[in-house]
Structure 1
Amino acid sequence: MQRLYDFLRRHPTWVDGFWAVVLLGISAVSLTNVNGAASHHGSRATALPIAVILSLVVALRRRMPEKMLVLAAAMGLAQLILDVEVVPADFAMLVIIYTVAADGARWASRFALAGGLCAATLSQIRWPQTDSSSLGNVLIAVFQTVPFALAWVLGDSIRTRRAYLAQLEERAARLEKEREAQAKVAVAAERARIARELHDVVAHNVSVMVVQADGAAYVMDTAPEQARKALETISGTGRQALAEMRRLLGVLRTGEHQEVGEYVPQPDVEQLDDLIEQCRTSGLPVDFKVEGTPRPLPSGVELTAYRIVQEALTNTRKHGGPNTGASVRLVYFDDGLGLLVEDDGKGAPHELYEEGGADGQGHGLIGMRERVGMVGGTLDAGPRPGGGFRISALLPLKPAH
């Protein structure tokens, strides 16, 4: 049974053809019974061809709705001209009006409505009820017009519903595309953020490890104790880098909270002392001062400040040359946090800082500016008069929640 239903749904013309045959059979029987009756207008010879054509209208209504509407209208006019009174096949008029209102062109739908509203009136004028008054004939015409109007309203409502559903589907598809685009943007932003974090963590800690390893190799034979301390620094720096890497990669998890102590906390300004002490241990003299009254900072500002200082000192160690010193100033203003990192080394060309370092693979000042821009701050960087490099930033302060 289901197969038959699916077959008929895929071949609607067969269904229409079946009902066309049924309608033609009913019309033929009706014409046989009334043929020659005194109260019936028209002969069987003229009525039967009209019934056949109207049945054809039902059979082909889905394939050629506009053409079948015109054909049905022509048959209606033929009935009026040839004096062929209403036959059962005239039911095709209602069917084609519904079909055109639902699936046909707009002009055909309007034409069907106009024809349907006029059909009953023309029929009543052509074949009035002799036993009814004029008012009675008018009421009969109005009553007979109702089915034509209902057929058109039903078809048009189906057309409207289909259009509404199509709009919903289009809107859903558009929203899905927008969601996909937003997801791609979010993924790109997250990748950029993770890349900056990886760069900051790896560049700083590996730089310290390289400096210590070179120093250990240089004094391995002449000063074993210094070499041992350098190796301890390398070990500690490596562990710290590993812990920060684990913390960073932890954000890629499903959002579940990790066990306390599994990953190190996100860096903040309170850890600048440890960062600067690490730089001093690696052989870079750093002067660190805090001005103003420390106060709670938004986490984004804290991380940005830490990463700027970390990146600046890493660049100093990489490009400053021997006997280079650096200074870090952290200034708490009423409405912002100021950072000033300077060194007195020979430095590298400004373009290398912009491009991410001498190897051109890091984020350099581009990453710094991105970080500062994310918190609404400003950053200025460039060579110092007389030598060295200078990086200053102003980060807006907001009350920590």
Structure 2
Amino acid sequence: MDPVTQERATEERTREQQAPQERAPEPLTQHVQRITRRVRAFDHRHPLVWDLHLTGFWVTAALIDYYGGGWLNVARDRDNPGWLVLTLSLGLSVPLLLRRTHPRAVLLAIAPFALVNAWTGIALQAFLLQLLVVFHLALRRPHRNLWWATALILASVSVLATRHPQGSPDQDIVPVLMSIVVAAAIGITVRTRRDHTEALEDRARRLEIERDQQAQLAAAAERARIAREMHDIIGHNLSVITGLADGGKYAAAKSPERATQALHAIATTSRQALGELRRLLDVLRDEDHPRAPQPELTPQPTLSDLAQLLEGVQAAGLPVHTTTHGTPTLPPGRQLTVYRVIQEALTNTLKHAGPGTTASIELSYEEKGAVTVTVTDTGRTGPAHLTHPSGGRGLPGMRERTALYGGTLEAGPRPHPEQGWRVHLHLPEETPQ
């Protein structure tokens, strides 16, 4: 079996193994939750529809109780006119339409009908609809409203127990009081759960916003790092190539051999720059595809690569003198910072210092990873040399690398009467983690 066919067979077997899991029925709780979410979403968009349906249900139940004569089974005084019973049935149920938006007003509107219901002894069971209003008071209003609501409801119950007693008074008052407590407890529980859910949703939104902000900051930092690396790679090599080309142009008329050497150095430097750029772009390429080729990785330059750097700079026509104090014992990250700062300083010298310039590098290694680097040149300090480093990416890139280790970087003209430019880097001792 060829590899392609074998891979397709493996994918089909994987799909067959996963198919039963995908076809498995969902738990009943998920169906209930999904239906509940849909009902809540519809109620949020069309609250009046739900209010009309619920109010219509209770009004219908109250009217059935009236027309069916069911109220006679619990009435304590049956000698009351039918119009009064109908009025009380509607008065105890119709105001429920506004129970969610104005629960206090609804309870006050129902209270007179409940009081008449108790005074006359009709004792309609519709007076228990006040428990729905108590639920919404506990759900939507400050809890102190429950005290006067309870007193208002028990007032009518007390009137009924006093004017039309049926057993001891506690047989009328205690069941209603317990019902009020249950309705209030349900409202408080739903409110607590709702507030907790809203708090979790708000926290999730804030975390999502924070995650997006962190991603944006990370992307910006990565773009800055990529720009800094490309500047260090391309800028330095192009400066070396420019210096070699200028030197080859002057040497072509007098010494063709020197011109040939310059062209050879230009070709070598260009290939190196192209190779480094290709490796950087390979790393940035999307590697999600399993068959994508792995990028060619090389270690970042260290202080051991300074000799090769100086050779390229000297080949471009800039004499460099190096002085070293102490023994280098720096970790790779600090070595990269020192290397890039020296590279950028020499690159700026090649670009802006002018012909006949020399440069010197002084490195002082101290204990615990501290290091001091001073790069000076003898070039001109005119506008070209002053303006470009501060207006381009070179100096900000050096400062960013220095700030990573809490160091300091100074760049500017050498003090009078000396001529040239000076870059001074100091990285302090490593702090224990």
Aligned position for 1:48: 86
Q: What amino acid maps onto 1:371 in structure 2?
A: R
Tell me the TM-score normalised to structure 2 length: 0.79
CA offsets 1:42-73 (integer angstroms, 9 cap, x no match): 44332220111112123443454343222112
1:2-401 to structure 2, matched below 5 A, reads: 10=46, 11-29=49-67, 31=69, 34=72, 40=78, 42-62=80-100, 64-80=102-118, 82-103=119-140, 111-116=148-153, 120-129=157-166, 132=167, 136-138=168-170, 140-253=172-285, 262-295=296-329, 297-335=330-368, 336-349=370-383, 352=386, 356=389, 360=391, 362-385=392-415, 386-398=418-430
Evaluate the alpha carbon distance shift between residue 117 and residue 239 of structure 1 in structure 2; reply closer, same or farther with a 3 A threshold. Answer: farther
Q: Secondary structure at the match of 1:346?
A: coil
Evaluate the alpha carbon distance shift between residue 396 and residue 38 of structure 1 in structure 2; reply closer, same or farther with a 3 A threshold. Answer: closer
Q: Distance in 2 between matches of 1:294 and 1:114?
A: 86
Shift of 1:272: 1.0
CA RMSD of aligned residues (A): 3.3
Evaluate the alpha carbon distance shift between residue 351 and residue 344 of structure 1 in structure 2; reply closer, same or farther with a 3 A threshold. Answer: closer
Contact 1:284 1:317 in 2 (8 A): yes
Q: Distance in 1 between matches of 2:144 and 2:256?
A: 99
Q: Secondary structure at the match of 1:220?
A: helix
Contact 1:54 1:90 in 2 (8 A): yes
Q: Secondary structure at the match of 2:57?
A: helix
Q: Distance in 1 between matches of 2:254 and 2:190?
A: 95
Evaluate the alpha carbon distance shift between residue 143 and residue 110 of structure 1 in structure 2; reply closer, same or farther with a 3 A threshold. Answer: closer
Q: Secondary structure at the match of 1:312?
A: helix
After the TM superposition, which of the residue ranges 152-161 and 245-254 deviates more from structure 2? 245-254
Evaluate the alpha carbon distance shift between residue 255 and residue 273 of structure 1 in structure 2; reply closer, same or farther with a 3 A threshold. Answer: farther
Q: Distance in 1 between matches of 2:255 and 2:80?
A: 128
Shift of 1:92: 1.5
Q: What amino acid maps onto 2:318 in structure 1?
A: L
Contact 1:21 1:55 in 2 (8 A): yes
CA offsets 1:337-366 (integer angstroms, 9 cap, x no match): 11111112223449835x536xx4x22333
Identity across the alignment (%): 37
Shift of 1:29: 4.0
Shift of 1:237: 1.1
Contact 1:298 1:397 in 2 (8 A): no
Shift of 1:84: 3.5
Question: Number of residues paired by the alignment?
Answer: 387
Shift of 1:223: 2.5
Contact 1:300 1:375 in 2 (8 A): no
Tell me the TM-score normalised to structure 1 length: 0.84
Evaluate the alpha carbon distance shift between residue 224 and residue 110 of structure 1 in structure 2; reply closer, same or farther with a 3 A threshold. Answer: farther
CA offsets 1:141-184 (integer angstroms, 9 cap, x no match): 22331112111221222122222222222221122222222222
Q: Secondary structure at the match of 1:264?
A: coil
Q: Distance in 2 between matches of 1:367 and 1:34?
A: 92
Q: Distance in 1 between matches of 2:52 and 2:128?
A: 19
Evaluate the alpha carbon distance shift between residue 270 and residue 34 of structure 1 in structure 2; reply closer, same or farther with a 3 A threshold. Answer: same
